[in-house]
Amino acid sequence: MKWTKVTIGTTTEATDMLSYLLGEYGVEGIEIEDKIPLSEADKKAMYIDILPELPPDDGCADISCYIDDNIDVKDLCCYIGEQMTEMSTYMNVGTGKITIGETDDSDWMNKWKDFFHPFRLEENIVIQPTWTEMADVSEEDIVIHIDPGTAFGTGSHETTRLCITNLKKHIKKDGSSEVLDAGCGSGILSIIAMKLGAKRVYGIDIDELAVKASCENLELNNIPGDRYEIVKGDVIGDKDFADSVAKIGQYDIVVANILADVIIPLSAVIRPFMKESGVFITSGIIDTKEESVKEALLANGFEIVETIYLGEWVSIVAQ
């Protein structure tokens, strides 16, 4: 389906009023681009550790909306012009320049796929996107078929590589390991754990789309349905959910490839899910937060077993 993109050049001061007026006209969703730095609360809510360098905030902003055939673009532009003229009598509305473009559903959802090709994640692990031609693999290779959808996790990031290195070390050769994947994303670590010989995987994520993607990818890789369960929930903020997870059973391995600011509170609640000899594999930790994570683990009764590094990222194994 084709959509018309309408972009309005304005100011951060005027974005709230313009957003309201567009909503009143019938526009169902907007996108605001500005240079205002995120607050600490914003970063925490969005699970962001590292932000790109932004130019200084100059007060300018762009508001974009995507219009289908139900709205006449010419009429909308006239409406915007009239409203901005009125608003300019009591606030700075900026240039008011309106830019019209055209886009397609596939541009939003699938353009990134052009840059995602099969790649060798480890010496014997190959990530195979479902929409690409089959990679050159040998019989000894473990091939992981993946379609992340809108969930996080293609497997290419350093933090995933660190987790896999540690999973290889700690998954038991006798096939008895049970694994809890905390923050499963697209399910890639759950799949790899199973391919490396885990007996069973239980995955959790706060995002319903991640749960859906994980289930689809596990099925795509022919993992039997009785060997995994993926559920939506928050073990940090929802005690009832955490208690329900603990009742299901305890795990030999808990793997959490998230962020330091999530791993720190997670370390305070994760022990009831672990067997006495279980290991807690953490990754997604930027090196500047390594000591903070270690302090939290020690404070919550863990012993640091190993720390490994790849680039600026850290993986800590605790017991």
CATH number among 3.30.70.120, 3.30.2350.10, 3.40.50.300, 3.10.20.310, domain 2-110: 3.30.70.120
Residue 62: which of 30, 38, 21, 107 has the closest Cα? Answer: 30
Per-residue pLDDT tens digits for 80-110 = 999 999 999 989 999 999 999 877 655 555 5
Question: DSSP code of 36?
Answer: P
Per-residue pLDDT tens digits for 171-188 = 999 999 999 999 998 899
In terms of C-beta density within 10 A (0-12 exposed, 13-18 middle, 19 or more buried), how is residue 127 classed?
Answer: buried
How far apart, in whole angstroms, are the C-alpha atoms of residue 123 and residue 182? 25
Which tokens belong to 268?
């305070």
How far apart, in whole angstroms, are the C-alpha atoms of residue 96 and residue 152? 36
Is the domain 116-318 a CATH 3.40.50.150 member? Answer: yes
How is the chain split into domains, by residue range?
Answer: 2-110, 116-318
Establish how many alpha carbons lie within 13 A of residue 83's alpha carbon, considering only the half-sphere containing its beta carbon.
20
Instruction: Return the pLDDT at 101.
Output: 86
Residue 262: which of 219, 193, 205 has the closest Cα? Answer: 205
Beta sheet of 142-146, edge-to-edge order: 119-122, 125-129, 142-146
- State which residues of the chain have pLDDT below 50: 45-48, 150-152
Q: Which residues, in sequence order, are CB contacts of 152 under 8 Å at separation 6+? A: 185, 186, 210
Helix (H) / strand (E) element for 40: namely helix 40-46
Q: What pTM was computed for the model?
A: 0.69
